[in-house]
Amino acid sequence: MGRTRYKIYEPTHPHFVTCTILHWLLIFTRQESVDIILNSLKFLQKQDNLKLHAYVILENHLHMVLRSDDLQKSMESFKKFTAREILKLLQRENAKTILDQLAFYKKAHRKEKTYQVWEEGCQSKLIQSEAMLKVKIDYIHYSKEDMLIGLFIGVIVVLETMRVIVD
């Protein structure tokens, strides 16, 4: 998943994951870009047995509580696919300013690509207890209050209730 100090050591256990757009650029301000995220998560639910417990999509990053059969692999797939689709959307919409910023802020070692959409890696924290799960879901819930854009993006969806976290 690129160069990152965050490692997923328990790939089948639930994690609180944050993914951030490069240089905190405002990408998720339109429904089309949010749909890319949602469609990718739905695909991974089927393909990788991704279990999405809660999430919020903010203007330039997203928080999720999730797990899968191999979370590291799922997040790599998620970021690769969504980056490609976001770039297609920006090019279709002729969003030159944002594309120029994604090219300008791209990390120097990424010579094979013109643009970089996501910050490298994902910040992930292992959910170690039900109390920690509650704290992270509350954090996601209250993050929507910080939003400056439409309510459709700020909706929190809890797709599955999780009682037992650690075996």
Tell me which DSSP letter residue 12 carries: T
Residues β-bridged to residue 13: none
Tell me which DSSP letter residue 7 carries: -
Q: Strand, helix or coil at 121?
A: coil
* Domains of the chain and CATH, by start: 15-154 (3.30.70.1290)
Task: Give the model's confidence band at 76: pLDDT under 50 very low, under 70 low, under 90 confident, else very high.
Answer: very high
Model's pTM, two decimal places?
A: 0.81
**If you count them, how many residues does the chain have?**
167
* pLDDT at site 112: 82
Record the tokens describing residue 141, joined without a space: 């819930």
Q: What is the pLDDT of residues 78-92, one digit of tens each?
A: 999 999 999 999 999
Mean pLDDT calculated for residue range 93-119: 92
The C-alpha atoms of residue 132 and residue 134 are separated, in whole angstroms, by: 5
H-type alpha helices, the chain: 31-47, 71-92, 96-104, 130-143, 151-154
Task: Give the model's confidence band at 65: pLDDT under 50 very low, under 70 low, under 90 confident, else very high.
Answer: very high
